[in-house]
Structure 1
Amino acid sequence: MLKKLLEKGKAIALLPSLSLFVGAVFLGFYGIYVLFETLYKVLTDESARDTAVLATKFISVMDIHLLSVILYIFAVGLYELFVGELKLAPWLKIENIDQLKSKLTSVIVLILAITFTKNFVEWKNPLDTLLFGLAVSAVIGVLIFYYKIKSEH
C-alpha cells in the first residue's frame, strides 16, 4: 500500500510547481506595473528624470522580470522532474535535479550582478558598496568553485 501511495505521490510536486507558476505570472505583471509607473513619473515629474534614478528603476524592472522567468523555469522543471513531460524548447528541458540546481546557480549569479549594479548606480556609501561587491564576489566565487569541483567528479 505504501509503495502505491508513494508512486502516486508524484502529484505532490504539482503544488510547488503551480505556486511557482502563479508567482511567475504575478511578478510579470508587477514588473509591467513598475515599468509603467516609472514611465508615468518621468512624463509628469521633472525630478524623476534623473539618470541615476532612472537607471536604478529600469534595473529593478529587469530584476523583477528575470525573477519571473526564473520562477517559470523552476515551475516547469519541477513539473517535468516529478509529474510528467511537457512540450518545451530543448534548452528548457530538465532531466535531473542537478540541471535544475545549475540553472538556479547561474540565475543567482545574474541576480547578484544586477543587484550590485543597482547599488553601484545609487552609490550612497563607497565603503558599503565595496563591501557589498566583495560579498557578491565571494558568493559567486563559491558557486563557481562548487560547480567546477562537481563537474570534475
Structure 2
Amino acid sequence: MIGRTRFVVLIAVIAVLLVSFSLFLQGTLLALYTIWDSWRDTLTQGIANQDGDIAVEFLEIVSTMLKAVVFYLIGVGLYSLFITPLNLTSALGVESLADLEQKVVSVIIVILGVTFLEHFVRWEKPLDTLYFAGALALAGGALVFFQRVHRGNGGDLQQPQAKLRARQDLFEHHTEQRHIEDHDVELAEQATVAKQEGKVDAGEGSG
C-alpha cells in the first residue's frame, strides 16, 4: 500500500514537464523572431552593420533551450525512477537519483558557460564582467567538485550492454518502457561487488 504513494511524484513530473515544454516553446518562438529580425536587418542595412547584439540574442536562445533540457531531464528522470522504468532514461545513463543529479549538474555547468559568454560578447563593463566570471568560476568549480566526489555513486544497473539495448529498443523498436531482465540484475550485482572491492573504476560504464 505504501508503495503506491510513489504516484504522488506524478504531480511533480507533470509540473516540471509543463515548465520544460513552455521553455522549449518560448525558445522556439524566440529563435524564429531572432532569425527573422537578423535577416531583415541584414537585407535592409547590410551585414556590415550587424553588431554583437545578434550573437547575444542567439546565445540567449541556447540558454533557454538548455534550461528546458534541465527540466525535461528532471521530469522524465523522476517518472522513470518512481513510476516505471523508461528506455529513454536508461539510454541517457540515468538509473538512480545520483545519476539524475550528475546529468542535471552537467547541463547547469554548460548553462553557466553560455551565460558568461553572453556577458563577454556584450563587454559593456569589463570590471563587472571580470567579477561575474569569478563568481561563475566559483560556482562551476563547486559543481565540478560535486561531480567528482559523487562520481560512480549511482547507476548499479548502468551497464554498457543495458544502455545499448535501451537505445536499440527506443530508437529502432520504438519501445518506451524498459524491461529489467534477470541478466541485468546479475551484471549489476557483479559490477557493485567489483566496485566495492576496487577492481574497477567507480565511474566505469557511466556517461
The equivalent residue for 1:51 is 51
After TM superposition, the score normalised by the length of structure 1 is 0.87
Distance, in Å, in 2 between the alignment partners of 1:8 and 1:90 is 23
Contact 2:73 2:104 in 1 (8 A): no
1:43, distance to aligned residue in structure 2 (A):
3.4
Distance, in Å, in 2 between the alignment partners of 1:56 and 1:47 is 19
Tell me if 1:33 matches 2:29: yes
1:50, distance to aligned residue in structure 2 (A):
2.5
Higher mean C-alpha deviation, range 123-132 or range 44-53: 44-53
The equivalent residue for 1:20 is 16
The secondary structure found in structure 2 opposite 1:88 is: helix
After TM superposition, the score normalised by the length of structure 2 is 0.66
Contact 1:73 1:92 in 2 (8 A): no
Distance, in Å, in 1 between the alignment partners of 2:69 and 2:134 is 27
The equivalent residue for 2:88 is 88
Higher mean C-alpha deviation, range 90-99 or range 77-86: 90-99
1:32, distance to aligned residue in structure 2 (A):
1.1
1:68, distance to aligned residue in structure 2 (A):
1.4
1:42, distance to aligned residue in structure 2 (A):
2.1
The equivalent residue for 1:114 is 114
Post-superposition Cα deviations, 1:21-77, rounded to whole Å, max 9, x if no partner, equal 111111111111111111222233449963311100110111111111221111110
Contact 1:105 1:143 in 2 (8 A): yes
Tell me if 1:133 matches 2:133: yes
Distance, in Å, in 2 between the alignment partners of 1:81 and 1:89 is 9
Distance, in Å, in 2 between the alignment partners of 1:152 and 1:15 is 29
1:93, distance to aligned residue in structure 2 (A):
4.5
The equivalent residue for 1:145 is 145
Distance, in Å, in 1 between the alignment partners of 2:7 and 2:61 is 34
Contact 1:77 1:93 in 2 (8 A): no
List gaps (5 residues or longer) in structure 2: 154-207
Higher mean C-alpha deviation, range 77-86 or range 41-50: 41-50
Inter-CA distance 39–30: structure 2 relative to 1 (3 Å threshold):
same
Inter-CA distance 39–151: structure 2 relative to 1 (3 Å threshold):
closer
Aligned length: 149
Distance, in Å, in 2 between the alignment partners of 1:22 and 1:33 is 16
